[in-house]
Structure 1
Amino acid sequence: MVELRKRKAPATAAPPVEKKPKAAKPRAELDEKEEVKSSKVPEVGDVIDIEVFGGEVQTNEGETTSLKKLLEESKTGVVFFTYPKASTPGCTKQACLFRDHHTHLTSSGLAIYGLSGDSPKANTTFKTRQNLPYPLLCDPQANLIAAIGLKKSPKGTVRGVFAVDKKGKVLLRESGGPDATVDAVQKIVANAPKVDQEQEAEPDTKQGDKPDDKQDDLQADESK
């Protein structure tokens, strides 16, 4: 009797291993990297996007404003000098130096502003006591202060100065003591053309005909 042997079934091949696609980076991570890139502190010569730069701040009178609005209101640009805390000795010296040199510092059309993390109430008291001729800006969240690279870590404000022209070109950005911040602005003012007050005063040009009118009236009276 012949014994039949069962043939072994052929081994089944293992299914091919599917390669998993690389996981896409979370959108939050991408947004964070983009934010870091866009929040790069500008250097002298850089042109910033004034539409969104620094967000909104308040004046010492409680009015909301922004860099864009301040530039639109200025003649040639703005200067922010930053100070850690209103009514403290170093900050008082700095604010008073900008007060005493205000006429010269604004001779090229730059508008001067103090900038700190103080409240409108604290800055109003500071401005009134020291008779400051310029507004003080309040940035308790330090959005603008951080944007110009003068935020102290983890919190606080570095004493310094930042200047930008109406087109968004950074003219000055540096930290320093009370005297150094004023000197830095004086240097850029010295190299800038002075604003001609007479040319800007339109009423003066329009009034140029009035003396001739009066002279004609006098001549008419003499001929009578």
Structure 2
Amino acid sequence: MSGHSKWHNIQAKKGKVDAKRGKIFTKIGKEIAVAVKNGGANLDSNARLRDVIAKAKAANMPNDNIQRAIKKAAGEADTVSYEDIVYEGYGPSGIAVIVETLTDNKNRTAGNVRHAFTKQGGNMGASGCVSFMFQKKGEIVIEKNDTLDEDELMMMALDTGAEDFASEDEVFVVTTTPEDFGSVREELEAQGIEFLEAEIKMIPDTYTAIDEETATKFQKMLDQLEDDDDVQNVYHNAEFPEGWEG
């Protein structure tokens, strides 16, 4: 089966992940706090918390950090007040962009996000202006290695309820509905499968090829957004030029 995630193409343009590791852990810590506030600290009864922890593990967040974040969130559950706000708009050359934020000050966040759009020739739009071009899906990314048989892994994924399975250059990508994501992920985890990434995200229906000049501008916009502490996730439909390194 084939997919259209272009995971490697987009993931490769997210900058030097190791250099941003601390910031990534901080963002995941906020997601843990919200999950604990909404559903409690008990993993057995809080599916959202289980999903966030899977995301944390895929990002190589140490278990001690994860447990500390859960305990901290449980102790501060009454004082945590982050608001989920999604912004939509267009990057340079009309690239569709969705920005998910968790914020305790929506005026600050809206101003920062708007600035990131306009600085590189884009513009923030109204709610719904680009989200119709995306579908919410669970995505599990598995690095290829000599011990993984593609056909066996595909059958395993589909048998657990996955919608699609794709083989890309260096990874396998398992796609699920948001509702089935948790059970598929847990089944694969139980089989000893390790993930490079495991989360529910917005996946574009089609991709827009961009040239190097646009790619340079857009990468600056992505960097500015991802450096913002209030921004949790950025999704887009840009297809970077082959071999482009930023």
Which of the five TM-score ranges fits, normalised by the shorter chain? under 0.3
Larger Rg: 1
Higher helix share: 2
Give the structure-2-normalised TM-score. 0.25
